[in-house]
Amino acid sequence: MNYDSYTAITAEREGRILRLTLSRPESLNAIDAVLHEELSRIFFDVDADDEADVVILTGAGKAFCAGGDLQWLNAMHGDPAAFARTVWEGKRLVNSLLDLQKPIIARLPGHAIGLGCTIALFCDIIYAAENAKLGDPHVAVGLVAGDGGAVIWPQLIGYARAKEYLMTGDLLTARDAATIGLINHALPADELDAAVDAMAARLAGGAINAIKWTKAAVNGGLKQAANAVLDTAFNFEAMSQMTDDHRIATEAFLNKEEPKFTGK
């Protein structure tokens, strides 16, 4: 398996460990149409990659992923066909992460926001630099947190906390995220690589079939939750994408202004 067809994600091998890097550092790895499409298929390729047993997923530069690219979101406003494709890709992305038996370690060198945060949370073990912030501020741009956030946040921190963070869009420090169980570890930035590499090596050197099948067993319940929620969540997100509030928010943020929502 090679990953030469990918332009926004780079792949490197370290023995049986495959390192995938979101590679749009100039935009803090914000997800545009190209990266979104590539994310929707890469984990199927990883699943078929006989040379990899463990995956490290990270972002180039200072951030893991800043979420959806506002230019891309603004361009899709009022275009049902474009958003329908995005929904289809989003479902593929979440389901491919859940179906992949190979363990995935998320390495967060900096912020993980929106869909970027969702992707990190669907990984198996999450390490973040302590200066990173995490959150799902879909509501800040007039959107429903429908791309997986409504699934994974309640499973990790319970419904009460999840609803508070998803309905406000408030961000957490990595330290606070680790304290409440949203992620596994928050570390000083200069300790991040050693910790991630040590865990990847430990898993790759372990009884890999037992590790993979344990992950698959645990993910059985998570897949049931995802199947119960994803269609409703994505449909509501598609509806919110057509609202005036979403257009107002994206235009305001692009102009570095505060959005003035109308509730329409």
Mean pLDDT per 10-residue segment, the chain (264 residues):
96 98 97 97 97 98 94 80 87 96 98 97 98 96 91 97 97 98 98 98 98 97 93 88 88 87 90
User: What's the pLDDT score for residue 104?
Assistant: 98
Write down the pLDDT at residue 39: 98
For residues 142 and 88, give the distance between their C-alpha atoms in angstroms, rounded to a whole number: 20
pLDDT score recorded for residue 71: 87
* Contact between residue 112 and residue 68 where contact means Cβ atoms under 8 Å apart: no
Give the CATH superfamily of 9-204: 2-enoyl-CoA Hydratase; Chain A, domain 1 (3.90.226.10)
Task: Return the amino acid letter for 239.
Answer: M
* Residue-level pLDDT at 76: 80
Instruction: Give yes or no for a contact between 124 and 105, defined as CB atoms under 8 angstroms apart.
Output: yes
| Alpha-carbon span 233 to 239, nearest angstrom | 10
Rounded to 5°, angle at Cα 53 from 51 and 57: 105
Q: What is the pLDDT of residue 67?
A: 94
- Coil vs helix vs strand at 7: coil
CA distance 35 to 195: 27
Q: Measuring CA to CA, how many Å separate 180 from each of 109, 146, 158, 256?
A: 20, 22, 10, 32
Compute φ and ψ for 175, nearest 5 degrees. Answer: -60, -45
Residue 252, pLDDT score: 87
pTM: 0.95
